[in-house]
Chain A
Amino acid sequence: MHLSETISSGFLFLAPWLVFLPLIGLLVNIVFGGRMSENLVGGIASAFSGAAFAVSVLLAYSVSLAHGETLRWTLAEWIHIGDVSLDWTFRADSLSTTMMLVVSGVGTLIHIYAIGYMHEDVRFKNDPARFRRFFVFLNLFIAAMMILVSGDSYLMLFVGWEGVGLCSFLLIGFWYEMDTLARPSWSNSKAAVKAFVANRVGDFGFLIASFIMFWAFGSFQFDAVFAKAPEIQTGVILAITLFFLVGVAGKSAQIPLYVWLPDAMAGPTPVSALIHAATMVTAGVYLVTRSAPLYSSVPEAQNIVALVGAVTALFAATIAVGQYDIKKVLAYSTISQLGFMVAAVGMGAYVAGMFHLVTHAFFKALLFLAAGSVILGMERGHHHLAHGHGGHHGETFDPGDMRNMGGLRKTMPVTFWVYMIGTLALAGIAPFAGFWSKDEILLDASHHSQAVYWLLTIAAFCTAFYMGRQIWMVFFGEARHEAAAHAEESPKVMTVPLMILAALSLLGGALNLPFDGFHNLGHWLGHTLGEVEALGLNLQVAGISTALALLAILISWLIYGRKPLAKNQSDPLESFGLLFKGMNRKWWVDELYQFLVITPYVKISHFLADVIDWRFWHDWFHETVLLGAYNWASAIGLNVYADQKGIDAFANWLGAATQRLSAATRKVQNGFVRSYALSVFLGVVVILGYLLLKP
């Protein structure tokens, strides 16, 4: 047997461990975590996540040895009804292994970072016992995400889809009884519920699409569905793809269901980085990419997807400009960047979308983690102050508010530098990773649709501007709060993952350079998605986007950098009036939803509960009709004639009759042995008589 064959088939058996390794990690932490130190708990969680990464590497290696062929490993039969058979099958191809590598690789780095972050976070929030729970949830998320990306059918994908949704809910509401964004107490749990409900709406779309798919295709298995797609009416596929888009809008935070993602920042920052920036929210992009054969057959659906993505990209970017919370800026930025990806996959530029997904996972995880480092630095400064002066505990202090920061460049140098790298990558400055991936999307858009191209280009301009604004406000100028002045740098366990991610953000573009012979990712994904002609570097597109990005950074310097914000000074952009207010208030979308959906919903609920259920059903029907009829019926004599003289009398008669009967039969047992003998004799005579008369 050939060595390569041995290895390629030899590593596939590891596929189930993608899911089981994190599950073992969380079980170990659940069972033994209570007696272990924090470092050990975090170390175990990270180790098992890292092991999943190792498995992903081996699987990717197996796929490459198999020349990009799809490898399958069936772990268990799941549902077998009639000729329908649904199995739990793992699928390793170039697309799924790419996702596995991103999820487990970035996930492991974030696990390590979280050891340091949560160590301090649980102490600032006075509940160290929750440290273990965090890592249990984190490992559960990795397992669920692995199910999502490794499934060989839409059904297994949906299992993971729901699993990551649950983990997202659990982790957004991690400090469920608190409030991390300076709003009323318990608002963290409300944010979790909001995320869950918005995702349910999306899942509803996913489910409907699945139902139609099963009705039309009779299967959930990817290849079976794609093979049958040409025979199916276009209208059916259009319906499936558009309902999938609803699911994508929910999970990947696109218009109109994106509203949950900003509130999801209530979760601890590693969660924001892992789930709400790098991995889970890209599941929608993965779904569209995975369904490429379906989307490619209906251009109408593709156009709608692209448009939704492009509009979301610009819309969210404008909101990001008006935010003061360091994580909210990044949250809207994430929505915007997800819009880029969705637009890309909508245009059929799957490689560009996946490329941006990967690089975005690097630099957005970096930015979030760095922001977490900033927030912890502020907390440390505040803590220091509170102990120094004694009277600061009652004061409401938001460590994430950029208006409280400033000058952190000096106190947190490592964080500053990695944040700079992340910012430049996000803003799309060459040669950082974001430049290459974003340019590829813009280039595809310029070929595909001018509207999408310009929407995305303006969004890119906004991106560079709000990131510049953030940099100037957070790291430059003078401290606007004493906490910022006393901020401290984070420990190595946090900064080392940051540096690794910074390196990836710097060099990640090398995955798919727009030069001949360097389309590595495109070639790799081509095994699964079909080989596409690689576009070279277009100097016009690249030039416009780079020039706009530099211009935006220059403008942000003019506004925020040249003359730094003073303490309690309002934002200079407020002179724009309604425009800035709109950006700051998120274009009143939450208020609109409140007015359009939530208020009517509450009113209907009130109506149903008060008028229908209580007044009509309880008061009128039960109390008046049923009880009245009952009282009336008993008044006219049911109780005497039907109950007492009917049912009751019958029951009494039954009892008395039984007594009389037993009193009579008792006499048979008279104790006279002769009488018993007579009975036996009678029996003999009767049986003999029966034998006689029997024919």
Chain B
Amino acid sequence: MVPVNYYIILSAILFTLGALGVLVRRNPLIMFMSIELMLNAANLAMVAFSSVNHSFSGQIFVFFVIAVAAAEVAVGLALIVQIFKSKHTINVDDVNSLKG
């Protein structure tokens, strides 16, 4: 028997780690993975609530999130490939022509 709080705290830690990944890594692929991690953290929280409340809604929402994440990854990776084609690098610090 585990209190639901623990799941929530775990979810928060994973989310923060994901956010940290987006902030500190320069490889867009890893940044992308971090975003997936953040989505996962959120999913975890939702499934935990779903379990406590004995409701399917949380799980169904997670299902939708997974579908959206798949779509996002498909488009995002295609974009990264396009950037690599035109810039010959994928380092996000080198993609900074939109500056003041």
- Chain A interface residues toward B at CB < 8 A: 666-674, 677-678, 681
B26 touches A674 (CB 8 A): yes
CB within 8 A of B22: which of A667, A668, A670, A677?
A677
Please, how many angstroms separate the alpha-carbon atoms of A50 and B96 in the complex?
91
B23 touches A674 (CB 8 A): yes
Please, how many angstroms separate the alpha-carbon atoms of A201 and B95 in the complex?
88
Judge whether B92 is part of the interface by a CB distance below 8 angstroms: yes
Judge whether B19 is part of the interface by a CB distance below 8 angstroms: yes
10 further A-B contacts with Cβ under 8 Å, apart from A667-B100, A674-B31, are A670-B96, A670-B99, A671-B95, A671-B99, A672-B92, A672-B96, A673-B92, A673-B96, A674-B26, A678-B23
Residues of B within 8 A of A668 (CB): 100
Judge whether B93 is part of the interface by a CB distance below 8 angstroms: yes
B100 touches A673 (CB 8 A): no
Digitize B73-99: 1 where CB-to-A-CB distance is under 8 Å, 0 elsewhere.
000000000000000000011011111
Among A668, A670, A673, A677, which residue has the most Cβ atoms of chain B within 10 A? A673
CB within 8 A of B100: which of A666, A674, A677?
A666
Residues of B within 8 A of A672 (CB): 92-93, 96, 99
B26 touches A670 (CB 8 A): no
B92 touches A674 (CB 8 A): yes
| B80 smallest CB distance to A (angstroms) | 12
With A667-B100, A668-B100 as known contacts, state yes or no: A673 contacts B23, CB within 8 Å.
no
A669 touches B22 (CB 8 A): no
Please, how many angstroms separate the alpha-carbon atoms of A443 and B93 in the complex?
120
Q: Which residue of B lies closest to A678 (CB)?
A: B23
Among A666, A670, A671, A681, which residue has the most Cβ atoms of chain B within 10 A? A671
Task: List 27 interface pairs A-B (beta carbons < 8 Å), by A numbering.
Answer: A667-B100, A668-B100, A669-B100, A670-B96, A670-B99, A670-B100, A671-B95, A671-B96, A671-B97, A671-B99, A671-B100, A672-B92, A672-B93, A672-B96, A672-B99, A673-B92, A673-B95, A674-B22, A674-B23, A674-B24, A674-B26, A674-B92, A674-B93, A677-B23, A678-B23, A681-B19, A681-B23
9 smallest A-B Cβ distances: which pairs? A671-B99, A671-B96, A669-B100, A666-B100, A671-B98, A673-B92, A672-B96, A670-B99, A669-B99
Q: Which residue of A lies closest to B20 (CB)?
A: A681
| A688 smallest CB distance to B (angstroms) | 11
Q: Which residue of B lies closest to A673 (CB)?
A: B92
Q: Which residue of B lies closest to A668 (CB)?
A: B100
Please, how many angstroms separate the alpha-carbon atoms of A673 and B76 in the complex?
15
Residues of B within 8 A of A669 (CB): 98-100
Digitize B21-61: 1 where CB-to-A-CB distance is under 8 Å, 0 elsewhere.
01110100001000000000000000000000000000000
Residues of B within 8 A of A670 (CB): 96, 99-100
| B21 smallest CB distance to A (angstroms) | 11
Among B92, B95, B97, B100, which residue has the most Cβ atoms of chain A within 10 A? B100
| B72 smallest CB distance to A (angstroms) | 16
Residues of A within 8 A of B97 (CB): 671
Residues of A within 8 A of B92 (CB): 672-674
Please, how many angstroms separate the alpha-carbon atoms of A276 and B38 in the complex?
102
| A660 smallest CB distance to B (angstroms) | 15
Q: Which residue of A lies closest to B24 (CB)?
A: A674
Please, how many angstroms separate the alpha-carbon atoms of A627 and B26 in the complex?
71
Residues of A within 8 A of B24 (CB): 674
Please, how many angstroms separate the alpha-carbon atoms of A356 and B97 in the complex?
102
